[in-house]
Amino acid sequence: MAQKIGILTGGGDAPGLNAVIRGVVVNGIKSGYDVVGFIDGWAGVLNANSRQLSLEDVEDIHRQGGTIIGTSRTPIFPKKGSPNRSDEAVASLKKLGLHALIVIGGDDTQGEADRLYKDKRFPHVIGVPKTIDNDLRATDYTFGFNTAVEIATQALDRLHTTAKSHHRIMIVEIMGRHAGWMALETGMAGGAHIILIPEVKFDMNEVYDVIRKRYEDGKGYTIISVAEGIEETDESKETDAFGNVKLGGVCETLQERIQEWLVENMEKPYPEFKFEARSVRLGHLQRGGAPTAYDRVLGTRLGVQAMELVKSGTWGHMVSLQGTEIKAVKLEEAVGGYKIVPDARYDEARLFLGL
């Protein structure tokens, strides 16, 4: 009888998830394993909700966004306001007769995988890094990031034309809770005149100075790329199952402040312009749609190599992109912190800000 491998996708969806699933299933079946997909992440483990995946199930799915087995933000170990359900999870995995579990997800999901491995009751765990924010440690890039940046860049390209036509300041809110990778690379690619990220402190007076100078130079509009994570954390706000504050709305706050400044400081000296600030929150548009070629290939390679770690019994590890190669790193190296934008990367972008 073939050994059985489980696979789950946890946390927010990302373009490229299906490519990973396809890589795992094709390599697994061709290596003599059965592959079972848990429905809706860790929730599927707790509810014993799974289905066997065949080669037909994964045919051509690498071209599709989302995940064919669903996802959720469901912890199995105790979190703020949630109970310890690891006993249920371990019992479910053992009842199904799994040889190993491949966990695809970001920091929260890989944190659960690392705890499950160290718990020793089900140590045959392998991780695959996933987050459009690109903030997971121990890997150079995560799949989904490239697609999300491309989507956001296309949005900035379109906003340039309308902002320029109406002489507006456009504030574009881009995902990025702990790190500003998406806002940075989108801003650089999309020609943002101001880029605001969590790693770099900013003064609103500096923002106002850029807007004023562009008007003085005859450039009657400004595009601002802002990461959602620059918003100060408010503990009274709604949180998810892992205790993360739900973000979104910092662009509206900036819009109000900039509009107030425009009325007070710009309307009299420049009566020829109608000064107006507008905001756009891209939100879940950044997660949806078909993955780019880069993410299809990266996701496929990560899935294939995750199965290779199963074959070699390299438990408690995560596949990782390092340069152009896929390597194995310990799960504990990836969790408990974030890969943030270094000063040197922001300094590169700073050369072009305000132009």
pLDDT at 31 over 70: yes
Regarding beta strands 194-196 and 222-227, do their DSSP bridges make them parallel or antiparallel, or are they unpaired?
parallel
Separation CA 55–CA 351 (nearest Å)? 50
pLDDT at 1 over 90: no
pLDDT digits 0-9 by tens, 302-330:
999 999 999 999 999 999 999 999 999 99
Amino acid at 199: E
Query: In the chain, pLDDT over 90 holds for what percent of residues?
Result: 86
pLDDT at 232 over 80: no
Give residue 256's pLDDT: 95
**Residue 14, helix vs strand vs coil:** coil
End-to-end CA distance of the chain: 65
Give residue 249's pLDDT: 83
Q: Residues 136, 339: contact at Cβ < 8 Å?
A: yes
Strand order in the sheet with 125-129: 50-53, 34-38, 4-9, 98-105, 125-129, 317-322, 325-330
Nearest to 257 by CA among 246, 268, 265: 265
Separation CA 118–CA 299 (nearest Å)? 26
Q: Is 289 left (phi over 0), alpha (psi -120 to 50) or beta?
A: left
Give residue 231's pLDDT: 65
Give residue 267's pLDDT: 78
pLDDT tier at 355 (50, 70, 90 boundaries)? Answer: confident
Contacts made by residues 263-272, CB under 8 angstroms, sequence distance 24+: 265/208, 265/212, 266/211, 266/212, 266/215, 270/215
Separation CA 250–CA 231 (nearest Å)? 6
Separation CA 262–CA 171 (nearest Å)? 14
pLDDT at 234 over 50: no
Cross-strand partners of 51: 37
CA quadruple 65, 67, 68, 71: dihedral sign: negative
Task: Read off the tokens for 266.
Answer: 């710009």
Separation CA 222–CA 277 (nearest Å)? 9
Q: Which residues make Cβ contacts (< 8 Å) with residue 146, sequence separation at least 6?
A: 291, 292, 294, 295, 298
Q: Which residues make Cβ contacts (< 8 Å) with residue 273, sequence separation at least 6?
A: 167, 215, 220, 266
**Residue 355, helix vs strand vs coil:** coil
pLDDT at 248 over 60: no
pLDDT digits 0-9 by tens, 266-289:
877 777 777 899 999 999 999 999
The residue-averaged pLDDT of 49-62 equals 98
pLDDT tier at 233 (50, 70, 90 boundaries)? Answer: very low
Known catalytic membership, residue 133: yes
Q: Which residues make Cβ contacts (< 8 Å) with residue 191, sequence separation at least 6?
A: 156, 160, 223, 352
Q: Residues 33, 3: contact at Cβ < 8 Å?
A: yes
pLDDT digits 0-9 by tens, 207-222:
999 999 998 898 989 9
Separation CA 260–CA 308 (nearest Å)? 58
Give residue 82's pLDDT: 82
Residue among 13, 108, 133, 135 flagged as catalytic: 133
Separation CA 337–CA 138 (nearest Å)? 10
Task: Read off the tokens for 22.
Answer: 């396809």
Higher-pLDDT residue of 236 and 71 is 71
Q: Residues 110, 135: contact at Cβ < 8 Å?
A: no
Separation CA 35–CA 341 (nearest Å)? 37
Look up the pTM and report it.
Answer: 0.92
Give residue 193's pLDDT: 97
